[in-house]
């Protein structure tokens, strides 16, 4: 049986973009060019997406994680909008945007991610999403879309997976493909000012080695500095990720039970109402919050080409 194209013909024609490279054409993840910085795509396996990557429990139960619903809310989506989901992973974010009446592209460089996305569309009902959502293998540093094409661009838990030079290139491309007056929504975790001292302490006491996926954690100051190149008005809010420490030492990352016990204690403390309220309402949030949300409203001038274009 011929596999279902990840990119539907109807959506391809309506977007008038170059023909895509489909995951099922090769069965392989997108490889980095020689000398190009970046995490290898083959570390992002099905096991990662179904055992480690945040939201996997809700996904396996047929639902959507609360942070993705929050992203939808922050995106202020309207029917008919064009949406780009960078690092689309399992695909549930892109599918949710399609359910809001948008035309959506999800891109990832992991073949396993695109296979999970394809399976999700099949489970949800292919006809229901025909012409609304497409998944394509693509490098976020070189987007195959026209200038000023997307009303909304989402980078949900992507920033921390890219080295600084990669992030700079990705944001340059985001600015190019986003429409004037569009909006970019970013979520990233963990908060660098919280997690880096924990990394140091855990390494000294337990010879703990951090997992290989996060290479560029952001603080409030660092994220604001990075988002300046989008040239828009950025709003950044510190957030709390429930069960954050358990997620950080999940089964695919660190199986040592010592870390599991420490994670449970930390989650109990950080999720307790008194400390949560203290973090949310005082400057302590800049150090003790576990994640960050950002929205960037782009200027209404000429789209593409970066700030000032």
Average pLDDT for residues 274-294, to the nearest whole number?
Answer: 86
What pLDDT digit, counting tens, does each position of 154-205 carry? 999 999 999 999 999 999 999 999 999 999 999 999 999 988 888 888 777 7
Preceding omega of 6 cis (within 30 degrees of 0): no
Which residue did the predictor score with more confidence, 287 or 279? 287
**Domain count of the fold of the chain:** 1
What pLDDT digit, counting tens, does each position of 70-124 carry? 999 999 999 999 999 999 999 999 999 999 999 999 999 999 999 999 999 888 8
The predicted structure's pLDDT at residue 163: 95
92-99 and 66-75 are packed helices; what angle lies between their axes, rounded to 10 degrees? Answer: 50
- pLDDT mean across residues, the chain: 83
DSSP string covering the chain, please? -PPPPSS-HHHHHHHT-PPPPPHHHHSSPPPPPTT--S--GGGS-HHHHHHTSTTHHHHHTT---HHHHHHHHHHT--TT-EEEEET-TTSHHHHHHHHTT-EEEEEES-HHHHHHHHHHHHHH-HHHHTTTEEEEE--TTS--S-TT-EEEEEEES-GGGS-HHHHHHHHHHHHHHEEEEEEEEEEE-SBHHHHHHHHHHHHHHH-----SS-S--B-HHHHHHHHGGG-SEEEEEEE--TTHHHHHT-TTT---HHHHHHHHHHHHHHHSHHHHHHHHHSTTHHHH--EEEEEEE--SSS-SSSTT-
- % of the chain residues with pLDDT over 70: 79
Which residue did the predictor score with more confidence, 58 or 8? 58
β-strands 233-239, 291-297 pairing: antiparallel
The predicted structure's pLDDT at residue 181: 96
Inform me whether the pLDDT recorded for 27 exceeds 70.
Answer: no
* Residue 158 covered by a domain: yes
Which residue did the predictor score with more confidence, 195 or 298? 298
* Residue 260 covered by a domain: no
* Residue 258 covered by a domain: no
Model confidence at 37, in pLDDT bands (50, 70, 90)? confident
The predicted structure's pLDDT at residue 52: 85
Model confidence at 303, in pLDDT bands (50, 70, 90)? low
* Residue 174 covered by a domain: yes
* Residue 100 covered by a domain: yes
Inform me whether the pLDDT recorded for 21 exceeds 50.
Answer: no
Inform me whether the pLDDT recorded for 6 exceeds 90.
Answer: no
The predicted structure's pLDDT at residue 249: 58
* Residue 46 covered by a domain: yes
* Residue 283 covered by a domain: no
Full-model pTM: 0.85
- % of the chain residues with pLDDT over 90: 53
Question: Which CATH number is 132's domain given?
Answer: 3.40.50.150
Domain of 91 in residue numbering reads as 9-191+214-241+290-297
What pLDDT digit, counting tens, does each position of 201-225 carry? 877 777 666 777 899 999 999 999 9
* Residue 140 covered by a domain: yes
């Amino acid at each position: 049986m011929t596999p279902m194209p990840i990119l539907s013909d109807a959506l391809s024609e309506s977007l008038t973009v170059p023909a895509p490279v489909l995951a099922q054409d090769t069965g392989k993840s997108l490889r980095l060019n020689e000398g190009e910085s970046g995490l290898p795509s083959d570390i992002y396996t099905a096991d990662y997406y179904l055992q480690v990557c945040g939201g996997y429990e809700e996904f396996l139960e047929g639902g959507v994680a609360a942070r993705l619903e929050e992203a939808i809310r922050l995106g202020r989506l309207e029917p008919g909008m064009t949406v780009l989901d960078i690092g689309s992973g399992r695909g549930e974010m892109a599918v949710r945007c399609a359910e809001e009446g948008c035309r959506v592209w999800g891109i990832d460089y992991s073949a396993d991610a695109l296979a999970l996305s394809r399976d999700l569309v099949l489970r949800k009902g292919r006809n229901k999403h025909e012409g609304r959502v497409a998944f394509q293998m693509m490098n976020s540093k070189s987007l195959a879309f026209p200038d000023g094409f997307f009303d909304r661009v989402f980078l949900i838990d992507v920033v921390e997976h890219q080295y600084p030079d990669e992030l700079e290139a990705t944001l340059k491309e985001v600015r190019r493909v986003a429409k004037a007056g569009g909006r970019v929504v970013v979520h990233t975790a963990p908060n660098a000012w919280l997690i880096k001292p924990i990394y140091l302490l855990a390494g000294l006491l337990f010879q703990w080695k951090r997992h290989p996926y996060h290479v560029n954690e952001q603080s409030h100051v660092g994220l604001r500095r990075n988002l300046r190149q989008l040239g828009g008005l950025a709003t950044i809010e510190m957030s709390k990720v429930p069960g954050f420490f358990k997620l950080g030492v999940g089964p695919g990352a660190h199986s040592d039970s010592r870390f599991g016990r420490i994670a449970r204690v930390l989650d109990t403390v950080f999720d307790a109402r008194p400390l949560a309220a203290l973090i949310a309402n005082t400057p302590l949030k800049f150090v003790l919050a576990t994640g960050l949300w950002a929205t960037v409203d782009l200027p209404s001038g000429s789209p593409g080409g970066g700030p000032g274009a």
